[in-house]
Amino acid sequence: MKEQILTQLDYPEQLEKLYRSNKTNFKKEFNTLYSEIKGNPLADFWNERLNYETDDLNRGSARDLIFILVASLLAGIIAKFPAFFGIDEEFFYPRNIGFILFPMLAAWFAWKRKLSSGKIAVIVISLVVGVVYINALPDLPDSDTLTLACIHLLIFLWAILGFAYVGGKRESDEKRLNFLKYNGDLLVISALIGIA
């Protein structure tokens, strides 16, 4: 990789392709090579690009905070539906536990990714169909069908969240891998918070 960086140093497009092919290796090799090529304007640019660290923590905008507060409030209201409307908790929670979290996260990613109205409609229609289907099933507590439907509904909601996360671009392998990484990070942080 070092030789490729050196030979492509005067060709920004080739360096970008090299970087995108293997970001981690490129950064490592470039940092070891930088002391030799320091002073070259393109090398200085790449050094700043790869090693820039901001001093202040990015807390997001006021609109982000408002969106998070409203989404949290909606999730809390959905979680308290049994108390508000006198619904049996054993009926409500196994069927609707996924609708407390997944729609709010999907809305967040749809908003941040600026999805088109068509893709937002696909997400909303999928969520509505899921709510209607799972709550229309008969209340048979010993039914294996109901148990399987509840399990598969969570997988379906997770897939909808993935669609919102990648912005509906199925061919983007990098975004799909980032979604899996996001899920791993979310599970680890949730477990740590739960343990605490």
Once rounded to an integer, what is the mean pLDDT over residues 132-140? 91
pLDDT of 96 > 70? The answer is: yes
Q: Are 105 and 67 in contact (CB under 8 A)?
A: no
Whether the Cβ atoms of residue 183 and residue 161 lie closer than 8 Å to each other: no
DSSP alpha helices (H): ranges in 52-88? 62-79, 81-85
- The DSSP symbol for 87 reads -
Q: Is a pLDDT exceeding 90 seen at residue 139?
A: no
User: Is 57's pLDDT higher than 60?
Assistant: no
Answer positive or negative: Cα dihedral of 41, 46, 51, 57.
Answer: positive
Asked whether residue 56 carries a pLDDT value surpassing 70, the answer given is no
* Overall size of the chain counted in residues: 196
At 41, is the pLDDT very low, low, confident or very high (cuts 50, 70, 90)? Answer: confident
- How much of the chain, in percent, has pLDDT values that exceed 70? 95
Split at pLDDT 50, 70, 90, the class of 106 is very high
DSSP state of 170: T
Label residues 64-103 b or e (16+ Cβ within 10 Å = b): eeebeeebeeebeebbebeeeeeeeeeebebbbbbbbbbb
pLDDT at 71 over 80: yes
Going by the DSSP 8-state scheme, the letter that residue 167 receives in this structure is T
Kindly tell me the burial class for residue 41, based on how many C-beta atoms sit within 10 Å of its own C-beta (0-12, 13-18, 19 or more).
exposed
pTM here? 0.67
- What average pLDDT is seen over the chain? 88
Give the pLDDT mean for 30-53: 84
